[in-house]
Structure 1
Amino acid sequence: MRILGLILILIIQIQIRAEFVSKVNPDEFSIAQDAKYLIYDVNFGEGFNLRRDVYMRIANTVRLLRESGQNYILVLPPWGRLFHWDRQRIGLPWSTFFDVESLNHFVPVVEFRDFLKATSNSPIQQILYLQHYEEGWGDEYIMKFDERKCIQTPSTSQYRKNSKSEEWDGWFFGFKDVHAESFKCVSIQGDSGTLKNLVLKNFSEASSILIDRAETILHEHYGDVNYWRVRRSMRYSEQLRNAANEFRREYLDPNSDINLENDWRNQKKEKSSRTTKGGEYLGVHWRRRDFVTARGKDLPTIEETAKILTKLADELKVSKVYLATDAIDEEVEKLEKLLVEKRKLEIFRFQNYEDFNDGQIAIIDQWICAHAKFFIGSYESTFSFRIQEDREILGFPIETTFNRLCPNSEKQCEQPAKWKIVYN
């Protein structure tokens, strides 16, 4: 049985390696013989949509490592235990939310479970816990990194060295029997390229590295072609797209489909001429809950929100509003009542909690808002940012995408930065 098990493991390793190599363009990447794995984790308090942004930064680090001749594979950290999820789950694979095949067209990726299988659950060779410099930036922000003594936080205390095995134990996404050989804290200031330099200079011999607190790393070039390449690769799973599309067709506009190439790499600039019209409804992201306390001055009241949406609906000549929100039921009911009184607008929400978890519903909300005739979001919300990016990819006019709910419905307020898509 043991021999059979070893054979199966070898087969998995060969299949994974062959699959990854076949998905990397040899004209773009220098491919080494032996695969190495880069895993990452993010601070517990970071939300679903910020974590999506961190993926983009780390994926570009892996791209840079591969361009340096290192055959790194990005290990996708399982989803779960997120602060804003009311129904907590752990260990959810990326395929629950995204098209993993599409991700593979940017850099080779593998789910954490498959990484454990491919490595026979061997200990992760190196944990790098990223932290800021205790003394701060100084007079200027300089790209640098140094191995330092750990700044003690609840996050660092999760890692403990086992006195018997000499291995390090930790959270590891809730998976049992996962350990690491070595743990180090690194103070770092920089971006995806800085992290690449750290790995190449100090840890190039490690076959598997876990980068914790990966949100410490910034984008190398925010909004450039590689930012948009990795963002375009992050297509939602077919299950979620189908659920959103069916809802749109049934309740909002049966003619609101938008054609995209099956492979994002084939979507060319000339096919995105900003002529997309979207469905005959208004898409709204109305952020409430903790934002009301933290950023109340930047958010409109319920009454002001109703005025804004009524005015927009009149201008757009639509009678349907799709609402993506974290507001409590009482607030939604109050808003709906005001909209009905003012203009008899219908509010629609996707609320199939039986078949979909909180993260899946968030993506369905975003995909429906991304197809609206006009979208308006909330101040500095990463949820709204992701919708704006989706609409850029779908080819909407700028004026129908980069809009926010103002705290005073009678006055203008600063609108979102217009980060336009780049193809080359």
Structure 2
Amino acid sequence: MHLIFILIANLLLTTAEQDLFEGTCDAAVKSCQNDPQNHDTKFLFYDVNPPEGFNLRRDVYMRFAVMMSETHKKGKKLDWRLVLPPWYRLYHWRSQRMIGQPLPWSTFFDVNSLKSFAPVVELNEILTNETSNTLEIDTVYVLQNYDDPFEGGIFADKWQVNKDNCRYDGDFWGHANVKAKEIVCVRFQGQISRLWELISLHPSDKNVMFAHGEIALHDSYGTKNYWDCRKSMKFNENLVKTAEYYIENNLNCTEKLCKSYMAVHWRRQDFTRSRHNDVPSLHGTIDQIDHAVRMHLRKIKKIFIASDAPTSELNLLIHELEYLKYEVFHFTPSKTELELFKDGGVAIIDQIICSHAAYFIGTHESTYSFRIQEEREILGFDSDTTFNRLCPDSGVCEKPSRWTVIH
């Protein structure tokens, strides 16, 4: 049976490769419009490995959004929509207000701006329009890594159906009324656009999902289309206004490119355990901040700290910097703000504040710092003020890679 399945799959793939991106609707008719109620519309769902954080998930979204955008630009797959997976039980969201509460993307982002780049739709829009109480996904493809990605010393794009121990380990973003008709496990490596090959195995499917979407790689990282997608990821207006109010009233800046403060992303928690060779000690952090100000920002005395450090450790950092005559700031939400913005929104407010600083120092290989660096590139800061990192107290300190904006 396994051999027969492989032969059928290869036959379907051969047919699909004749026109891999062939669409099924005409752009001139209504069925191609971004309307989740249209019965001709097909939906592409995905999720991400549960332990992954908010900012890695933003990057995975970009992979899928760019794939959809590039396909639509070719006039193909015009009936497909990308479903935005709700935010649910992320590792770094510790607030009790987050337990059991799936959140739509509009909580954190301007969804209309996302739609200006790619054909996206919120999951709750689809659930609202379902005539039955259950949303059925036709096929869930569970992506798995190859045991040896560099077989023969070469990393090659490839996939293979894997029937051994096949199961879906997610929970459909906390929605009990979402079910799967069929689950197919696939060893996959390579560019994300090759997922269309898997979709072509079941051409009649209307709802298709990819679990562990982080396994599929960018088709092209850092290109103009990548940056166009990144620019469309505008934050929720209320988060932006809250950050701007804080900057104006605490950091004395009303401009886009501020000159009145320096910002530092001081990553602690899991990094002090898993990446202790890449991050400094408390006193090493203080020395590096003081050195950066004396070298680059002699007139600045205001320092903003974004950090996941325990309160006691953060307070000690602030106390030591204040002893050196700095004014130190850290955004602490009120109960109302935490209730409204949730943990994810508070982290975004921190990112916005860091993005507007005269000078930024991040944490090595933190996706949180990466997103701030991207935001600063979009805003137009000199790259020398953006791609800086906290170094370990001793040893090699590798400089951050510079992924500069392409307009």
What band does the TM-score fall into relative to the shorter chain?
A: 0.7 to 0.9
Q: How much is the aligned-residue C-alpha RMSD, in angstroms?
A: 2.2
Counterpart in 1 of 2:246?
247
| Distance (Å, rounded) in 1 between the aligned partners of 2:103 and 2:120 | 16
- Tell me if structure 2 keeps the 8 A contact 1:65–1:72: no
Q: Report which stretch shifted further, 69-78 or 96-105.
A: 69-78
Q: Report which stretch shifted further, 62-71 or 75-84.
A: 62-71
1:21 to 29, 33, 40: 33
1:75 to 75, 78, 83: 83
| Distance (Å, rounded) in 1 between the aligned partners of 2:363 and 2:276 | 11
Counterpart in 1 of 2:219?
220
| Distance (Å, rounded) in 2 between the aligned partners of 1:183 and 1:279 | 54
- Tell me if structure 2 keeps the 8 A contact 1:134–1:151: no
Q: Secondary structure at the match of 1:181?
A: strand
Deviating above 6 A after TM superposition, structure 1's stretches of 4 or more consecutive aligned residues are 17-20
Report deviation, 1:226: 1.5
1:306 aligns with 2:319: no
**Matched residues, number:** 363
Counterpart in 2 of 1:377?
362
Aligned partner of 1:51: which letter? R
Counterpart in 2 of 1:209?
208
| Distance (Å, rounded) in 1 between the aligned partners of 2:360 and 2:247 | 15
Report deviation, 1:387: 0.1
Q: Deviations over 1:182-218 (max 9, x none)?
A: 111111111122223332x323321111111000011
Aligned partner of 2:357: which letter? A
Report deviation, 1:122: 3.9
Report deviation, 1:178: 1.7
Report deviation, 1:254: 3.2
Q: Deviations over 1:113-136 (max 9, x none)?
A: 111223434411111111112454
TM-score by length of structure 1 reads 0.81
| Distance (Å, rounded) in 2 between the aligned partners of 1:329 and 1:107 | 40
1:394 aligns with 2:379: yes
Aligned partner of 1:46: which letter? E
- Tell me if structure 2 keeps the 8 A contact 1:20–1:108: no
| Distance (Å, rounded) in 1 between the aligned partners of 2:362 and 2:258 | 16
Q: Report which stretch shifted further, 92-101 or 141-150.
A: 141-150
Counterpart in 1 of 2:15?
none
Q: Where do residues 20-99 of structure 1 align in structure 2 (5 Å cutoff)?
A: 21=33, 34-66=40-72, 67=74, 69-70=76-77, 71-87=79-95, 88-89=98-99, 90-99=101-110
Counterpart in 1 of 2:276?
296
Q: Report which stretch shifted further, 171-180 or 116-125.
A: 116-125
In structure 2, list runs of 5 or more residues that go unmatched: 1-28
Report deviation, 1:64: 3.8
| Distance (Å, rounded) in 1 between the aligned partners of 2:292 and 2:149 | 45
- Tell me if structure 2 keeps the 8 A contact 1:60–1:192: no
Q: Deviations over 1:134-165 (max 9, x none)?
A: 4544121111112111456xxx354xxxxxxx
Q: 1:397 to 1:313 in 2, by over 3 A?
A: same
1:417 aligns with 2:380: no
| Distance (Å, rounded) in 2 between the aligned partners of 1:392 and 1:206 | 40
- Tell me if structure 1 keeps the 8 A contact 2:141–2:183: yes
| Distance (Å, rounded) in 1 between the aligned partners of 2:182 and 2:90 | 27
Report deviation, 1:36: 0.9
Q: Where do residues 106-121 of structure 1 align in structure 2 (5 Å cutoff)?
A: 106-120=117-131, 121=134
Aligned partner of 2:240: which letter? R
Counterpart in 1 of 2:19?
none
| Distance (Å, rounded) in 2 between the aligned partners of 1:21 and 1:110 | 12
Q: Secondary structure at the match of 2:178?
A: coil
Counterpart in 2 of 1:323?
305
- Tell me if structure 2 keeps the 8 A contact 1:64–1:193: no
Q: Where do residues 163-202 of structure 1 align in structure 2 (5 Å cutoff)?
A: 171-199=171-199, 201-202=200-201
In structure 1, list runs of 5 or more residues that go unmatched: 1-16, 24-31, 159-169, 259-276
| Distance (Å, rounded) in 2 between the aligned partners of 1:319 and 1:182 | 59
1:333 aligns with 2:304: no
Report deviation, 1:353: 4.8
| Distance (Å, rounded) in 1 between the aligned partners of 2:66 and 2:165 | 27
Q: Among the aligned pairs, what percent are the same residue?
A: 40
Counterpart in 1 of 2:331?
350
Q: 1:135 to 1:291 in 2, by over 3 A?
A: closer
| Distance (Å, rounded) in 1 between the aligned partners of 2:164 and 2:229 | 32
| Distance (Å, rounded) in 2 between the aligned partners of 1:309 and 1:135 | 42
| Distance (Å, rounded) in 1 between the aligned partners of 2:382 and 2:164 | 48
Aligned partner of 1:35: which letter? T
